[in-house]
Amino acid sequence: MSTNIDTLENWERTHDCGSLSANNAGTEVLLMGWVNGRRDLGSLIFIDLRDRGGITQIVFDPKVSVVTHEKAHVLRNEWVIAIKGKVSPRLKGQENPKMPTGDIEVFVTDLKILNRTEVPPFQVDGAVDASETLRLKYRYLELRRPRLFENFRKRHQVVSSIRECLNRNGFLEVETPFLTKSTPEGARDYLVPSRVNKGTFYALPQSPQLFKQILMVAGFDRYYQVARCFRDEDLRADRQPEFTQIDLEMSFTGEEGVMAIFEEMMKDLFKTVLGKEIAIPIPRMEYTEAMDRFGCDRPDMRFGMELKDISGIAARSDFNVFRQALETGGCVKAIKVENAAADFSRKILDELSRFVSDLGAKGLAWIKITDNEWQSPIAKFFNQENISGLNKIMDARPGDLLLIVADKIKVANQALGMLRLEVAKRLGIIEKDALSFLWVTRFPLLEYDENEGRLQAVHHPFTAPLIEDLHLLKDSPEKVRARAYDLVLNGVEIGGGSVRIHDMSLQDEIFKILGITREAADRKFGFFLEALKYGAPPHAGMAIGLDRLVAIMVGAESLREVIAFPKTSSASCLMSDAPSIVEESQLKELGIGLLSE
RNA sequence: GGGGAUGUAGUUCAGUCGGUUAGAACGCCGGCCUGUCACGCCGGAGGUCGCGAGUUCGAGCCUCGUCGUCCCCGCCA
């Protein structure tokens, strides 16, 4: 690559490439940026100059400067240049309505070539898109694309808006450690070896949970943090190993205080960033109702198609599959797909059947409602009375399609809940621009873990039980509801939190039920339990996943579109090539040896 | 850990039944061009068909393995 490039000297920009309009006609401007495209007509050269503000057409005309025009012939895409010139309205009929700056162009008097480039591995202008592998390897080139940059501008605005809201409400931004203690509950930890204390390890935080609660004990009263969190679990389109939470904690309040703050925050940021009004208070739904009606603890409320329990009628049918499911304590539930009977072919129904069996359900029954009967493989098991009864429960009309799953309650809910989403996706009935917020409240405090053979905390072991359920704690702990709440947006869990236990004796009782001995509890988080003894105020908190929130706001398919330097689905960074092997000497210094295969 | 998809020029893709010299578009290089904005026209260069075995007279195509990427299940308090 040639090194004959110009120096900046005392040139300073006067504008960015997105800010010029007809109002600037006649002014001398100085722009800097990248060559986004060139159209060299011989004696006239047009260049699209791009910076993060936008794109401006600049013109090299020998009538303006022979020397500069001559110099401009060598310009190529992605070269970095600076130009001085005069803003001019476009000739009549030459305006470009597709460009925000399409009414003007800049006639260049002076040109500096600030840098050249090798031929880029893919076209930044996006004319031919590259594979994501390549775009991740050359992430800086992809980030030059205006569409992607816009995501990060919005992300910045979201964080600014949140900080403003929380600062206004008396919150203090405090940083908590990255090098912290491994807690075996929850997700797998990323471990960091200690050189000073060989054989011991820090863990990167899965969340600042214990530290923020200790800040409440410390009397900080209202804390927040734009907190990076780390979880060593397998990735998904909506899961990265490091991600950012807006994490907060409040003293002397409960769920109402926390929910009110988040509602104000959401209202603010959707207004400032997207110019959209959202209605508060955000509606609430208890966990059990969400499961009953949507088969899911984070229902997408942008469409209906709710689950209906048809166990009563199923019990009166002659269909053994239904009756067996009921006899073993299961249920029969159904969804109604309006006017889909004609469109859902046997092939599609087979696909849907496979879809639910992949989720562990035993099968899928379907009924097409026709004018006076059912078209269905299971029609023969129902008498006329039951047919009318079921039609009534489902509010089914001719042309509708019923999809039915009979299974254990948990399996049926999950399968139908997912099927509901799948069908809605296939039908394209989900309104893209809709914003459907929902609080899901009163989750179960505990659930039985089949693998471990013991009760586990659904949220985390410091979540407070509902006071009115306390009496159930001893005899039927699984029925106890938690003072926990999740914020759901368009079927995505964007955050969650709870009122915490601040009473040591209740905390002890919970540990006992979880089968955690005093010794084990002390070993795992003794420092935190110790803190609870010294005047812990009542407190509650919540965290929302910033990446997921921004992803929804910008309509991103994957979190990778809202994280500047994301990891691949095998948790590696294609740009830096992390993770990588390290020098033997580095390991030795840490007192670490690698196991051979 | 499991299932699915995918890998061919710098990039995105096509490549028939296994058969002669692996094509197109964009990009790149050279030339022409004073109103382009997906500029146009003429010419040109550019290939480890992801990698490794195997089957075959012959493999981009078939088989096995392996690696990368993407999606999903498990997992993610």
Tell me the pLDDT tens digit for each residue of A463-506.
999 999 999 998 999 999 999 999 999 999 999 999 999 999 99
Average pLDDT value for residue range A508-533: 90
A593 CA to B69 C1' in angstroms comes to 31
Closest to A539 (Cα-Cα) out of A171, A166, A221, A262: A221
A90 CA to B35 C1' in angstroms comes to 10
Q: Say which CATH topology domain A22-115 has.
A: OB fold (Dihydrolipoamide Acetyltransferase, E2P) (2.40.50)
Task: Give the DSSP letter of residue A19.
Answer: -
A86 CA to B33 C1' in angstroms comes to 25
Question: What pLDDT is recorded for position A3?
Answer: 54
Residue A276: count of CB within 10 angstroms of its CB: 13
Dig out the tokens for A136 from the structure. Answer: 């991740």
Round to whole Å and give the CA distance between A474 and A513.
Answer: 8
Chain centre distance of CA A449: 27
Please, are residues A593 and A587 in contact by the beta-carbon 8 Å criterion? yes
A595/A244: higher pLDDT = A244
Give yes or no for CB of A129 within 7 Å of strand B: yes
Dig out the tokens for A548 from the structure. Answer: 């997921």
- Please give the model's pTM, rounded to 2 decimal places: 0.94
A121 CA to B21 C1' in angstroms comes to 29
Of A residues 261-320, those with CB within 7 angstroms of nucleic strand B are none
Round to whole Å and give the CA distance between A295 and A273.
Answer: 33
Does the pLDDT value for residue A319 go beyond 60? yes
Instruction: Tell me the pLDDT tens digit for each residue of A485-494.
Output: 999 999 999 9
Q: What is the DSSP string of A211-269?
A: HHHHHHHTT--EEEEEEEEE--S--BTTB-SEEEEEEEEEES--HHHHHHHHHHHHHHH
Interface ipTM > 0.85: yes
Which residues are within 8 A (CB) of A260 and not within 5 positions of it... i.e. 6 or more apart? A281
Nucleotide nearest to A496 (CA to C1'): B77
**Range of weakest confidence among A17-26, A216-225, A330-339, A449-458:** A449-458
**Range of weakest confidence among A163-172, A413-422, A541-550:** A413-422
**Residues of CATH 3.30.1360.30 domain(s) within chain A?**
303-430
The answer to whether domain A303-430 has CATH 3.30.1360.30 is yes
Give yes or no for CB of A425 within 7 Å of strand B: no
Question: What pLDDT is recorded for position A4?
Answer: 81
Give yes or no for CB of A187 within 7 Å of strand B: yes
Instruction: Tell me the pLDDT tens digit for each residue of A525-567.
Output: 899 999 999 999 999 999 999 999 999 999 999 999 999 999 9
Average pLDDT value for residue range A103-118: 96
Closest to A550 (Cα-Cα) out of A195, A151, A81: A151
Nucleotide nearest to A456 (CA to C1'): B77
Give yes or no for CB of A492 within 7 Å of strand B: no
**CATH architecture for segment(s) A150-285+438-561:** 2-Layer Sandwich (3.30)
Please, are residues A83 and A56 in contact by the beta-carbon 8 Å criterion? no
Question: What pLDDT is recorded for position A358?
Answer: 83
Residue A257: count of CB within 10 angstroms of its CB: 16
Give yes or no for CB of A206 within 7 Å of strand B: yes
Does the pLDDT value for residue A362 go beyond 60? yes
Round to whole Å and give the CA distance between A187 and A460.
Answer: 11
A61/A450: higher pLDDT = A61
Residue A249 pLDDT grade (very low, low, confident, very high; cuts 50, 70, 90): very high
Q: Distance from first CA to last CA of chain A, Å, rounded?
A: 45
Residue A2 pLDDT grade (very low, low, confident, very high; cuts 50, 70, 90): very low
Of A residues 214-233, those with CB within 7 angstroms of nucleic strand B are 231, 233
**Residues of CATH 3.30.930.10 domain(s) within chain A?**
150-285+438-561
Which residues are within 8 A (CB) of A246 and not within 5 positions of it... i.e. 6 or more apart? A159, A162, A224, A225, A226, A227, A265, A495, A543, A544, A546
Cis check for the bond before A281: say yes or no (omega within 30 of 0).
yes
Nucleotide nearest to A120 (CA to C1'): B10
Mean predicted lDDT score pLDDT of chain A: 93
**Residues of CATH 2.40.50.140 domain(s) within chain A?**
22-115
Burial class (CB in 10 A: 0-12, 13-18, 19+), A581: exposed
Average pLDDT value for residue range A427-431: 88
Residue nearest to nucleotide B38 (CA to C1'): A127
Instruction: Tell me the pLDDT tens digit for each residue of A179-221.
Output: 999 987 789 999 999 999 999 999 999 999 999 999 999 999 9
Residue A1 pLDDT grade (very low, low, confident, very high; cuts 50, 70, 90): very low
Query: Which element (helix H / strand E) includes A141?
Result: helix A139-143
Round to whole Å and give the CA distance between A285 and A481.
Answer: 13
Give yes or no for CB of A92 within 7 Å of strand B: no
Average pLDDT value for residue range A144-172: 97
